[in-house]
Amino acid sequence: MKSVSSLRETTPPPPVHVAIIMDGNGRWAQGRGRSRIEGHRRGMETVREVVKGSIELGVEYLTLYGFSIENWKRPAAEISSLMGLLRLYLRQEIKALDQRGVRMRFIGQRPLLADDIVSLIEEAEEQTKGNTALNLVVALSYGARQEITAAVQSVARRVASGELDDSTIDETVISQHLETAGMPDPDLVIRTSGEQRISNFLLWQVAYAELVFIDTLWPDFSQEDLRDAINEYHRRDRRYGATG
């Protein structure tokens, strides 16, 4: 197998940061007469495959929308099953992820998560912080508007305390106050299941990302679908508002 660094030198190089809205677990299950949680369980298998595929393709950052702030409105039983799956994933996978060189990070409102999940997240971040093969960012209890609001509050506090001059507030200052501070913006956003929305995901950061919407439901999403989406990304002409 090629080393990660040699993959990153391939032409064309892979997108540095791929972000995925994993959608369609419920419909996958309903279509088979199974419970929604079975769909989420299969969705977790897909996460494993996509992490492996991302490392093989030389992607540096993979951000997965695991649980949105709006998902707290789902029935208590589904939330509790999703949180159970997350516990399972964190307990079972950390060792293997660490061995594969994956650095794990989490964005989103931690105070809304159960204490034991916060501890698992903190342990995962600490244990994997030296890894460089792939940065796996999981958005949990995450909402972009809430993230931007918190950033504005934090900037305002610094201005009020005299630590920051308001004339120096620019895009870099705002980015540095987001939870993704220090990470590159996504180059490619993939949403599965045929829906074509951003759903409060990384609103600031996706300003220039290529958006690829595919009909496949998340539990059926494969490493080949990931490669197809990346090929589609390569066919796009990224101009950032300039002429060709």
CB of 230 to ligand FPP, least distance (A): 20
Residue 186 one-letter amino acid: P
**196 token code pair:** 């074509």
Binding site for ligand FPP (CB under 6 A): 22-27, 40, 43-44, 47, 64, 66, 71, 85-86, 89, 138, 193
Residue nearer to ligand FPP on the CB measure, 16 or 85: 85
Instruction: Identify whether 23 is a catalytic site residue.
Output: yes
Strand 17-21 relative to strand 188-191, pairing? parallel
Closest residue to ligand FPP in the complex (CB): 26
For the chain, give the longest Cα–Cα distance.
60
Torsion of CA 175, 120, 92, 20, to 10 degrees: -20
Nearest distance in Å: CB 201, ligand FPP: 12
CB of 209 to ligand FPP, least distance (A): 20
User: Can you list the alpha helix ranges (DSSP code H) found in the chain?
Assistant: 4-8, 25-30, 36-57, 76-99, 115-127, 144-160, 171-176, 223-235
Residue numbers annotated as active site: 23, 71
